[in-house]
Structure 1
Amino acid sequence: MLALCVPCIGLAQHTLTVRVTAIPEFHAGDPIYITGNFNRWNPAEETMILQKQPDGTYGISVLLENVPSDRLEFKFTRGSWPTSECTADGRLVGPRLATLDRDTTVVCHIEGWRDDFPASTASPNVHLLDSAFYIPQLGRHRTIWIYLPADYETSGKRYPVLYMQDGQHLFDEATSQGRIGPIEWGVDEVVDSATSKCIVVAINHQTDYKDRVPEFYFRPNEDYPSVEGPQYLAFIAETLKPYVDAHYRTLPDKAHTALAGSSMGGLITFYGGLAYPEVFGTLGVFSPSIWLDHGNIENELTILTNIANIHTQRYYFYAGTSENRLKLDSTFVHMNDDVQRAIGLLRNAADPEIELSVREEGRHGALYWREAFPAFYRWFIAGTRQAVH
């Protein structure tokens, strides 16, 4: 079996041997690649092609360094993320996990290839609100998606509304992107299966990730002296929400209006709650990138002026205990610590209702936000029911 060395610096070397004993019937002659946290999730690294063995199985042995012994992550592809392995019914899942504290052999069975199934995973209840909705505050256009409950056309009811950042990644694998493949949040499936429904309005981020970042910073910092967060939030609160309320049967009051996002989208969601506490009653702040904000959010929490409105809000925070980031000065940031510190400042400043969800070993990415979203949704809906009574 082919042996390869992946050069890194740090931990002791161990050999990972992977054997794939069964693959789908289709594409049997295509190369199979292994990718993971040992090669920066490159889905088509030529040195990572599995070799067909005389017994018909596929295998590779890789000498690895600097991979956490308790957290080896990997997946299989046929050379691109659209050709990732998937379940037998065509859904992408999280990475395979293994412990690598010694030379290790892992035996796998690939159930399916993602490109053998329909590209779109979106519910029929997801609709394109506008492919080029104008943002007057920024002078640009943006794709906006809207989820309408299945009974919307016939019920005559009004619904709570959840506004969400990064719309590409919420409903559909065909539009999502990610470090470990196009794993979407499954927001539509969660609301589809819920007893109480809401409308979801999802705002796409800028196509280029580097252009996404300025929109999600609220205060200037040394990395981004010019930011667009205030204009972006003004668009949601002052342009998009009035449009949605005018064209759809919404419950437009604060108690039935939520804003949610993750990572940098979680950071701007947090600011959205503080800047528009009379508009957004519930905030879903998933893994907010506080560590990138140069202390601005902490400062913001010490100078709040609209205390009465913030006090009547509800904040849902999510963080994983393994969401660690290496800073340029070689120190580590722990997402859970950042969130706990921000919660303490928020409590001292205005004492709104706060719910904290911490996932042990949770990491940074759509896989974990997808798993965390159902609990947030139930919490949001429970709050809207209380508001009615």
Structure 2
Amino acid sequence: MKSVRPILLFLLLLFSLTEGQVVLRITSLPKDTPKNAKIYMASNLNGWNPKDSLYELKRDVDGSYTTLIPSNSGTVEYKFTLGSWETAEANEKGNAIDNRTLIVSNKPSTVLQAISSWQQAKIRNNTVSPNVKILSENFAIPQLKTTRRIWIYLPQDYANSDKRYPVVYMEDGQNLFNEALSFAGEWKADETMDALADTGKQAIIVGIDNGGAERLNEYSPWENPKYGGGHGEHYADFLAQTLKPFIDKNYRTLPQPKNTALVGSSMGGLISFYTGLKYPQKFGKLGIFSPSFWFAKNDVLSYVRKNSKVIKKSKFYFLAGKKESAEMVSDIEDVVNEMVKKRISTSHIKVKIDDNGTHSEQYWSQEFGAAYLWLFAR
């Protein structure tokens, strides 16, 4: 699959020249942009790779930069970079911006863009809580023959008590705790948990970095003919068979499924949902934020039907905003309707649709606390 995917993407881009060509053209750049800068588009089409040669923009004679997007790509979330997340585009003050959004059909079009500044002009704040540690920079994932950085947040009273805690496993670990390391904004998961210190409702949080260019492959167990995928089953096995046993062995956890959650957004929401359905005896609470069900919707619905009998005790918190893609809300509704048809109790399902919700870490960070409290309510 790895050797074929670049060729397929190239052919898709080439095909778009004659069928529904969609051109992104940057017509205005910051004054401090390097003279021979290479500009890239990082998006949900390429696993948010900030330096993907297939999405390097072409510099035209007039100084503008262009790239092509395959027709019928649906809703594309993207940002421009100079080759890394440390040099991603920013607003006029040098602060990170929300993802750009474009709905791509099969109609030819040219979309003009302007970049206000690059993040290299501003050192982003280090916002990580002292309760957050890097568990490992290269934690082994034998199922995928790779390694990954793993983060862990320990409750404020962890070191001074013998108490055991529930555990929340979260995808896209780069974006959970520290603005300085995030590629799309920060969830503020540590600040949210710190705020619960006086309530006795804190949990251990385990953050798993995504695989960068392999994000789409790892976060879907099913292949999408345009965008790849297909390694998600192995990633789910890693979470259930390798990472969770390690955490339960080395930390004071409450290991039962009713005390263990998976939370993810976008493609992370897709893999969290899949993993929860595959391993309900491991993960009994699922926070599914703005899930990319579109990536393999028919497969998702089939998997719900297949696994409905074993997820009767699980709890599901679905979140979406009406300012996301056109199909986001309807996709969640279709999945939930299928669950209800299979007699999953509506008391185990919470769906929150926000009129102003966007596909962004800023939105998800605002909702994480409410989702956590609902999932772990007794």
- Ranges in structure 2 where 5+ consecutive residues have no aligned partner: 1-29, 34-40, 43-58, 65-85, 100-118
Cα distance, 1:348 vs structure 2:
1.5
Question: Residue in 1 aligned with 2:261?
Answer: 258
2:288 maps to 1:285: yes
Q: Contact 2:216–2:229 (CA<8 Å) still a contact in 1?
A: no
For 2:275, the aligned partner's letter is G
Partner Cα distance (2:274, 2:124) in 1? 38
Determine whether 1:275 maps to 2:278.
Answer: yes
Match of 1:25 in 2: none
Higher deviation after alignment, 289-298 or 165-174: 289-298
> Which residue in 1 is equivalent to 2:231?
228
Aligned mates of 2:178, 2:229 — CA distance in 1: 32
- Deviation per residue, 1:150-191 (Å, 9 max, x gap): 11111111000000111001111111112xxxx101000000
Aligned mate of 1:379, from 365, 374, 378: 374
Indicate the residue corresponding to 1:138 in structure 2: 144
Distance of 2:373 and 2:356 partners within structure 1: 23
Between the aligned partners of 1:253 and 1:336, the Cα distance in structure 2 is 31
Match of 2:313 in 1: 312
Q: Is contact 1:85–1:114 with CA below 8 Å preserved after alignment? A: no
Change (3 A) 1:130 1:82: farther
CA deviation after TM superposition for structure 1 residue 127, in Å: 0.4
Q: 1:337 is aligned with what amino acid?
A: S
Asked whether 1:147 is paired with 2:125, we answer: no
Deviations 1:74-118 (A, max 9, x none): xxxxx954875669xxx86869xxxxxxxxxxxxxxxxx997666
Structure 1 residues 85 and 371: alpha-carbon distance in aligned structure 2, compared to 1, 3 A threshold? farther
Q: Post-superposition shift, 1:199? A: 0.2
Q: Provide the TM-score with structure 2 as the length reference.
A: 0.68
The CA distance in 2 between the partners of 1:241 and 1:290, in whole Å, is 25
Which residue of the partner structure matches residue 160 of structure 1? 166
Question: Hey, what's the Cα distance between the residues in 2 that align with 1:296 and 1:137?
Answer: 22
CA contact (8 A) 1:254 1:281 kept: yes
In structure 2, the CA distance between the partners of 1:114 and 1:83, relative to structure 1 (3 Å rule), is: farther
Q: Which residue, out of 364, 370, 373, partners 1:369?
A: 364
Change (3 A) 1:164 1:350: farther
Show the counterpart of 1:177.
183
Indicate the RMSD between aligned Cα atoms, in angstroms.
3.8
- 2:340 maps to which residue? 347
- After TM superposition, the score normalised by the length of structure 1 is 0.66
> 4+ residue stretches of structure 1 with deviation over 3 A?
30-33, 45-48, 79-87, 91-95, 113-119, 223-226
Partner residue of 1:197? 202
Q: Tell me: CA distance 1:212–1:158, structure 2 relative to 1, closer, same or farther (3 Å).
A: same
Is the contact between residue 144 and residue 167 of structure 1 (CA under 8 Å) also seen in structure 2?
A: yes
Q: Is residue 2:251 matched to residue 1:248?
A: yes
CA distance 1:292–1:168, shift in 2 (3 Å): same
Asked if 2 retains the 8 angstrom alpha-carbon contact of 1:269 and 1:283, the reply is: yes
**Cα-to-partner distance string for 1:328-370 (whole Å, 9 max, x where unaligned):** xxxxx42011101111101222414001111103121112111
Residues 226, 170 of structure 1: CA spacing in aligned structure 2 closer, same or farther, 3 A cutoff?
closer
1:270–1:285 contact (8 Å) kept in structure 2:
yes
Residue 290 of structure 2 corresponds to residue 297 of structure 1: no
Point out the structure with max Rg over C-alpha.
1
Distance in 2 between residues matched to 1:174 and 1:357, nearest whole Å: 30
Structure 1 159/344 Cα, relative in aligned 2: closer, same or farther at 3 Å?
same
Structure 1 portions without partners, runs of 5+: 1-29, 34-39, 49-78, 96-112, 325-332
| CA apart distance, 1:292 | 1.6
1:32 and 1:359, CA in 2 relative to 1: closer, same or farther beyond 3 A?
farther
Aligned residues with identical type, % of pairs: 39
Distance 2:227 2:269 in 1: 18
How many pairs were matched up? 294
Q: d(CA) in 2 for partners of 1:115 and 1:222? A: 39
Give 1:220 shift.
3.0
Alpha-carbon distance in 1 for matches of 2:120, 2:367: 24
